[in-house]
Amino acid sequence: MSKRGIKIVGTGSFVPKKIMTNDDLAKIVDTSDEWITKRTGMKERHYVTGEEDQTLLAENAARKAIENAGINREDIDVVVVCTVSAEYYSPSSACLIQGRLGLRNDIICLDVSAGCSGFIFGLETIRALMMARGAKYGLLVGAEVLSKKMDMTDRGTCVLFGDGAAAAVLTLDDRPYFSTIGVEGDEEMIHIKVPTGLIHMNGQDTYKFAVATVPTVIESVVKKAGLTYDDIDHFILHQANLRIIESIAKKVDQPMDKFVVNIQKYGNTSSASVALALDEAYKGGIIKEGQRTLLCAFGAGRTWGAVII
């Protein structure tokens, strides 16, 4: 643990206007609102239409975060975009964001691919890069267009995912920073094969992995910080399944009102999930300055991570 931490100074999010409800999906695949709601807690999700794409979502979320932070774009030294659904293998989504936003050209821009753990891996990456460069500000974006990656005949998977983006502007901070991160390389549980593959997910294995791993990850980072669960004001977990969040809340013996939940509105937005919930919680007055918030996610590759900010 380094004494040099990070502080979030602004957040922003952006989702497509088109809403796909459970009833809408029931017209496409053999499912129902009752089936989806009972098993996932999801009611609707957003899909891109027309010329909307991952870069557009990322750009708009980034613009809102910069505006919310009230900073000069010229002071951004690092851009990291977390995604598994960018339009291009190359150039990176982060490079496209640099161009769209008109940022300086002597900065580092790169993408991070860690599935639904993306935003946590992104926090670790951007913090390290900012420390190495003595950066004033960094821009971290999670953005996904998963509606283009779904097999609409796979009713167990296609109902889960949605499109969206969220961003955070960060600065280095002298308050302690605590994190834990890990990976158990695996390609079977969740994958999107190149070049034009669709999402494959083993739902049962993913559920078992999440409920077994996440409580241990949370315990690890809380111990590193010398805290107890009661010292955490808010928990923001990857929005994969309401039953997973409820199970984890029970395992750490914390009330559900400390867990930020917006899965009913957006479904699973992968790398954007934690950031989208963070932005809503902050702008909704749930998270206040100085409170301790624990962010935790798990995803493809059997990745996991947690951060206390």
Q: Which residues are catalytic?
A: 116, 238, 268
**E strands along 150-284, which residues?**
163-173, 178-183, 190-192, 199-201, 234-237
Specify the pairing of strand 5-14 against strand 163-173: antiparallel
Provide CB contacts within 8 A for 140, sequence distance 6+: 80, 81, 82, 119, 122, 123, 126, 167, 168, 169, 170, 275
- Taking CB atoms within 8 Å and a gap of at least 24, the contacts of 185-190 are 185/301, 185/302, 186/301, 186/302, 187/301, 189/300, 189/302, 190/115, 190/299, 190/300, 190/301
For residues 73 and 67, give the distance between their C-alpha atoms in angstroms, rounded to a whole number: 9
DSSP, collapsed to helix, strand or coil, labels residue 82 as: strand
Q: How far is CA 109 from the centre of its chain?
A: 18
Backbone angles phi, psi at 266, to 5 degrees: -125, -10
For residues 130 and 4, give the distance between their C-alpha atoms in angstroms, rounded to a whole number: 10
* Burial tier of 230 (Cβ tally within 10 Å: 0-12, 13-18, 19+): exposed
For residues 101 and 211, give the distance between their C-alpha atoms in angstroms, rounded to a whole number: 39
Q: Number of C-alpha atoms within 13 angstroms, CB side, residue 144?
A: 33
DSSP, collapsed to helix, strand or coil, labels residue 184 as: coil
- Amino acid letter at 113? S
